[in-house]
A and B are shown apart, each in its own frame.
Chain A
Amino acid sequence: MIIIYHCFGGSHSSVTAASIHLGLIPADRVPSNEELMSLPYFDKTPKGDWGTIRPMGVDENGNMVYVMGKKNLGDRFNHMLMGLADLAGIQNDIKVINTVQCVNLLMMLGGFTSRRLRIVKVGRPIVIFGTQRAFFSLAQLVTNVKATML
């Protein structure tokens, strides 16, 4: 199965959710700043990277996990990809998850400052703090995703 977590920029909430899914960070405690920064792509993607599906790894069941930033395409993106998957006859092999529902104001503010304005020194601590605050919400989302795959 192919699992795609997506958010606005593909740098924070989708990366964190994919990392929880893959067990790169434990789901039962809030990760430290260093643990978050050690995740692939976390607060590192360039702003022109929207629309690129990036591999994060393979989970314990052999599912390929990807992340993507889709700007403000919203849930339309889910319908687009699942619609195409349906035409290709692979709808049961694809899972597309929008992580924006877990994003808080601090993540938006910090992400915008770090990724768009390129003021990393200011934005990064804010987005890390925001991600830590949203962490259990993201962990719950991943738990729900995994439950639907059983």
Chain B
Amino acid sequence: MDIVFTGATGVHQALLAAHIYLGQLNDTDFSYIKGLADLDLDSLGEPIFVGEDSAGNHVYTLGLGQVEIGWKAVNNFLDVAEVSSDRLHMLKVKVPFENVLSYGHIIRKLPMGERLNWIISKWILKRSFSDIIGQVNQLMK
């Protein structure tokens, strides 16, 4: 089975959720999370491989762009293609100010934009960290 954590981007809360699920992240030191807030990595819109869990399931993240439409579209697609959740398990991770995260590509164009994008991303994700842990626990039940 492949497990796919989704969000507006695949490099913010979905990425943290994937690392939490894999047991690789317990606190808000995000500095070693490869690809965090990296919107170039997210720009293609393809699933991003994060790791493999103890059961051998591959864990990915996927940025949906616009969460509600994207979520509806991918689930519709999996229904139409008859892909069961035993084969591909999709999980939605939400945080407040999610739209701000996905506008990071605009923020990056401002003076000091790269730094600003990182600071804003980190602030939103730190603020939501316990909530993301709760969502991962809830989703994996």
* Residues of A bordering B, CB below 8 Å: 2, 4, 50-53, 64, 66, 68, 70-73, 75-88, 90, 93-94
Which of A70, A83, A85 counts the most chain B CB atoms within 10 A?
A83
* A50 and B73 alpha carbons, distance in the complex (Å): 8
Interface size (B, Cβ < 8 Å)?
Answer: 28
Assembly CA distance A64 to B47 (angstroms): 25
Q: Is the CB of B87 within 8 A of A88?
A: yes
Per-residue contact bits, chain B 38-79, to A (CB 8 Å; 1 contact, 0 not):
000000111100000000001010111110111111101110
CB-nearest residue of chain A to B58: A87
A95 to chain B, nearest CB (A): 12
* CA distance in complex: A85, B2 (Å): 12
In the docked arrangement, what's the CA distance between A70 and B70, Å? 8
Most buried by A among B4, B58, B68, B72: B72
Given contacts A53-B80, A83-B46, A90-B83, contact A71 B69 (CB under 8 A): yes
A66 vs B76: C-alpha distance when bound (angstroms): 11
CA distance in complex: A77, B2 (Å): 20
B88 at the interface (CB under 8 A from A): yes
Give the complex CA separation of A66 and B71 in angstroms: 18
| Contact partners of A70 in chain B: CB under 8 A | 69, 73
Contact B4 A84 (CB under 8 A): yes
Contacts of B83 in A (CB 8 A): 84, 88, 90
Contact B77 A87 (CB under 8 A): no
Shortest 9 CB-CB distances between A and B: which pairs? A51-B72, A76-B45, A79-B45, A83-B46, A51-B69, A51-B73, A53-B76, A88-B83, A83-B47
Select which of A66, A71, A75, A78 is within 8 A of B80 by beta carbon.
A66
Whether the pair B46, A81 counts as a contact (CB closer than 8 A) is no
Cα separation A64 to B77 with both chains bound (whole Å): 12
